[in-house]
Structure 1
Amino acid sequence: MAEGHPVVVVGSGPAGLAAAAELHSRGVPVCVLEKADAAGAAVRAWGHVRLFSSWRDLVAPAAEKLLAAGGWRRPPDDAYPTGSEWADLYLEPLAAALGERVRFGAEVVGVSRRGRDRVVDAGRAEEPFTVRVRTSGGEERMLARAVVDASGTWGAPNPLGGDGLPALGESAAAERIEFRIPDTGSAEVRSRYAGRRTAVVGSGHSALTTLVALAGLAEEAPGTRAVWVLRRGDVGDAFGGGADDRLAARGALGRRARAAVESGRIEVVTGFRTAEVRTDGDEVTLLDQNGRALGPVDEIVALTGFRPDLSWLTEIRLGLDATLEAPVELAPLIDPNVHSCGTVYPHGAAELSHPEPGFYLVGMKSYGRAPTFLALTGFEQVRSIAAAIAGDHESAARVELTLPETGVCQGSGLAEAPEEEAAAEGGCCGPAPQPVELARPASSVPQ
């Protein structure tokens, strides 16, 4: 029956590899399936960005034990790695330590129960999962005792459109829109934004990171301009907790972004929910749901969050919150309207369970559309789930985590470490930004 098969973990990012380490430490057979050719592919994609968390909070306990057995030494607790450093110094060695338990070039394209589609009740829980895997050699089927989906949300950014759907003309303007933090340290990327006007859409820390980068670029490349486009009615608490933030790098980012805005280098537009993107030659204009026009701009960076890809889980009985697309028991704990990452109660197998026994969403994907996630949360999730799978229900029910408080946890940090912040900031602060007057075209967008 199902107990004779391994646990399949989908994804070799921080949560997926931590899950594998936890299961391995309990003697549970595990197989990690990763569609990329190396561990932490999504982390490497934002490798130029420095994390809010220090190394103290970026190494899972079971993973550290496994690595230490092979002579690995943990980086200094108070250092803040970039995404690339996290992948190079931790994720890649961890995947190597797990050895043949990690398969690269193996994309999971479907999960079900053996001989049962999602409608069939009879004998369902007794059957193992079937995991459909696509490789360079074709497709294959694996049987699994349990499935832990740690595939993340990086591949499914939210669209620019303010109603959750792509704005009219968004697809046609795709070459002018970037959905992730640009690496302005790259000469090729810098040339895309230097001397040009860029609209940065979003209120989270990914947007703040981009604004700080563009403000720095403006000092080197005259003519570089940025306009910060917020759906909310005012800037409000978008700068975060500042000096009171217990995540120092997150607080530093908010202070840098505030200084850039107050210096006048960044225009601010509020209450703008994009409904249409109009392209005219080399220029792009955004129109909101009321027909206001913003532009022209040369480039758009849409940092409006991510959502889970559930398309390959159609045969699994998921219990998801109707709003957040997170597990129903977890959703009230992570509602971004109520919680920051530090006020989320630590949670595990009980909150992450679904009507399909033995199936779990973990890591960023477990949060659905909520942005308030920390690596520490993922490590606690998989510790509890591994205990539950192994039958140690007492351990699965325990809470073994205290999270840092204040601020929201969207996006990533500065290029510089917090200790470099003072030197990097220089002088400030010019006149406060003035509201930007937006034109209303003769032909407005239907409401």
Structure 2
Amino acid sequence: MTEYPVVVVGAGPIGLAAAAHLTETGSEVVVLERGAGAGSSVAEWNHVRLFSPWSEVVDPAAARLLAPTGWTAPDGDTYATGREWVESYLAPLAAELGDAVRFDSEVVGVARRGRDRVVDAGRDTEPLSVHVRHGDGSEERILARAVVDASGTWGSPNPLGSEGLPAIGERGASRRIDYRVPDLTDDAIRSEFAGKHIVIAGSGHSALTAIITFAELAATHPGTRLTWAVRRGVTDSVFGGGESDELAARGALGLRAKKAVDDGYLNVVSGFRTEEVVANSDQLTLVGDAGARIDGVDRIVALTGFRPDLSWLSEVRLDLDPTLQAPKFLAALIDPNMHSCGTVYPHGVEELTQPEPGLYLVGMKSYGRAPTFLAMTGYEQVRSIAAELAGDHDGARKVELTLPDTGVCGGAGLFDDPNADAGGSGGCCGAPAAPELISLSAPSGSRD
């Protein structure tokens, strides 16, 4: 099937890196991106700064492709915002790939030519069929010898509800719920939150970013009230590894968020699992599964993670972990119920190969619902797959990957376990208490 191209879904950091590696190894490639430009999902959080330095967010093959154009890599020791990542790297990379990258082209389905998922015959001899809907409404079918799904998870945020489903009343209150960190550098957006009671739900890096952002708002706008609703107990481990984190900016993020809490800018409600969102005239009430309530809420920022959209892969055969919805062989390496240290064994084509020949899930989508993905992980994934598709089977399996440790031990999943103790198997995992309101007194000049 070498007469057919490799189709890459998504023109984000991992998708464009895949295209660079495929181009370098001599494979014809087509990149399909539903957005209007490179890194369209990254552009939606352009105000957020990465905690990985430039040296870790530029793919080596992409840098080699860009070098002859006169492109100069940014200072490797500095940190890009989302906007800078797009403008200084992703957009130039897409431009260099030229007509291979097609924007406003949404993949709506993948199948085997002439066969649905039930048919066995021809699954290893017929090309994959990629169904595309363009921005003008027209449709197209592209035949491919392989499909690399780097579409990410940005478009599928987890709901506020603690059961993985929207809480009762969540859909009806959706106009007052944000599922991503709002851009408070925009005066119009800032005015929507200033002086209001805002609940931040979640405990990952996005939630820590929101805590810092909204604490700065509360410091300058009297009357702004912040509540942090978390399922786990709020111990030091919630804030990450701090100075022990091998990614300095990631450690600093946690330390800044902890300072905002210690300074009294937030009321913290721990052990809170949202069961219902009740609309009361112009305000909301959050009701936890144990009956605890958070009243008088104006806006909710629900930062509870993301999940993969598998709907358009319904006609191909996948072997995914039933818990994480990640490739089965990868899931054991990244399961947050088992560890939260960010250390991932080297992995590539062997762990990512699916029962459907020629189909690979890569990047954030390959992690399913696990939250610990770093760009360098995806770059190594696509290098391995490109080598495999070029016939370099040995090179595809010589996978090397060393990720910076978070400095936090223990399984993140255990933080939700009311029976876990602080001295559990991880050695530093705090156990949540029953829902508890913690009012932290503020020093002079700060606000409760």
- The residue type paired with residue 183 of structure 2 is D
CA distance in 2, matches of 1:407, 1:313: 37
Q: Report what 1:413 is aligned to.
A: none
Contact 2:42–2:82, Cα closer than 8 Å, also in 1: yes
Contact 2:30–2:101, Cα closer than 8 Å, also in 1: yes
Give the CA deviation at 1:234.
3.5
CA distance in 2, matches of 1:236, 1:134: 47
CA distance in 1, matches of 2:298, 2:235: 24
Contact 1:275–1:289, Cα closer than 8 Å, also in 2: yes
Percent identity between the two aligned chains: 62
Q: Report what 2:192 is aligned to.
A: 192
Contact 1:341–1:373, Cα closer than 8 Å, also in 2: no
CA 338–48 in structure 1, closer or farther in 2 if over 3 Å, else same:
same
What do residues 205-232 of structure 1 show as CA deviations (whole Å, max 9, x unaligned)? 1001101111111111001111110011
Structure 1 residue runs of 4+, over 6 Å off? none
Task: Provide the secondary structure at the position in 2 that maps to 1:329.
Answer: helix
Task: Provide the secondary structure at the position in 2 that maps to 1:69.
Answer: helix
In the alignment, structure 2 segments of 5+ residues that lack a partner are 410-434, 440-448
Q: TM-score, normalised by structure 1?
A: 0.90
Give the CA deviation at 1:123.
1.7
Give the CA deviation at 1:4.
1.1
Q: Report what 2:180 is aligned to.
A: 180
Q: Are 2:390 and 1:390 aligned?
A: yes
Give the CA deviation at 1:341.
6.1
Q: Report what 1:402 is aligned to.
A: 402
Q: Report what 1:417 is aligned to.
A: none
Give the CA deviation at 1:193.
1.1
CA distance in 2, matches of 1:437, 1:47: 33
Aligned residues: 413
Q: Are 2:33 and 1:40 aligned?
A: no
Contact 1:16–1:151, Cα closer than 8 Å, also in 2: yes
Q: Are 2:111 and 1:112 aligned?
A: yes
CA distance in 2, matches of 1:234, 1:258: 10
Q: Are 2:125 and 1:126 aligned?
A: yes
What do residues 174-226 of structure 1 show as CA deviations (whole Å, max 9, x unaligned)? 01100001111111111111111100000111001101111111111001111
CA distance in 2, matches of 1:29, 1:341: 38
Contact 2:350–2:397, Cα closer than 8 Å, also in 1: yes
- The residue type paired with residue 18 of structure 2 is A
Q: TM-score, normalised by structure 2?
A: 0.90
Give the CA deviation at 1:362.
0.5
CA distance in 1, matches of 2:356, 2:341: 27
CA 178–211 in structure 1, closer or farther in 2 if over 3 Å, else same:
same
What do residues 63-120 of structure 1 show as CA deviations (whole Å, max 9, x unaligned)? 0000002111100010100000000000000000000110111110000000111000
Q: Report what 1:352 is aligned to.
A: 352
CA distance in 2, matches of 1:169, 1:177: 11
In the alignment, structure 1 segments of 5+ residues that lack a partner are 410-433, 439-447
What do residues 312-366 of structure 1 show as CA deviations (whole Å, max 9, x unaligned)? 0000100100000000000000011233464111210000011111100000000
Q: Report what 1:429 is aligned to.
A: none
Q: Report what 1:67 is aligned to.
A: 66
Q: Report what 2:425 is aligned to.
A: none
Q: Report what 2:437 is aligned to.
A: 436
CA distance in 2, matches of 1:281, 1:408: 43
CA distance in 2, matches of 1:64, 1:339: 33
- The residue type paired with residue 215 of structure 1 is A
Q: Report what 1:138 is aligned to.
A: 138
CA distance in 2, matches of 1:120, 1:330: 27
Task: Provide the secondary structure at the position in 1 that maps to 2:351.
Answer: helix
Contact 2:271–2:436, Cα closer than 8 Å, also in 1: no
